[in-house]
Amino acid sequence: MSSHYFIGIPMPDHVRTWLKEWQEQLKRDLSYGVWTHELDFHITLKFLGAVEEDKVHVLQEKLKDTQVSPFDMKIGELGHFGNPYQPRVVWAGAEKHQQLLTLQKEVEVVCENLGFPPEKRPYNPHITLAKKWRGDKELSQKLEALHDQLDRIDRITVDHFTLFKIHPKSDQKYEAVQRFPLQGTK
């Protein structure tokens, strides 16, 4: 049986700390089926789905060749996907930094060349905080008030990305399989 994988940028400790604080505040007002584990906070570059082990090894070799240099980018600002009254996902936003977009495109091309289906939706970088809405009441002003309380802009240095294996039944669902330093870093 194949495991599921994705490629992403893990968050540094200082960011995980305040994202966890955001979750604690959100939990007081919002009802979600899944809250992202603090060690699982990341920005997805490419979701792969089920991958055979031999293909994972080829992918690992090809991902070593990315040509993007390290960069600093901003993260923060609370956002959501779906109906604002019952949002299916609540997230912290990530700046659409040019080098992030270049890295995502390079990863996408590597994956497409190996036969992974292309992503049809426009790339929208974010860090998922909660998903699977199960609130019984609509939100409206509550989400707006939370936006105002929680917005915080921070900077991270992106000097690597990671191939993650998904363990859906665990609390911490994402296992780092391999780290890929950006160009000029170790």
Q: Which residues are catalytic?
A: 42, 126
149: its two tokens:
């309380």
Is residue 11 within 8 A of residue 19, CB to CB? The reply is yes
- Residue 162 to residues 64, 76, 143, 158, Cα–Cα distance (Å): 11, 21, 32, 11
Terminal CA-CA length for the chain: 33
Q: 3-class SS at 153?
A: strand
CB atoms within 10 A of CB 47: 15
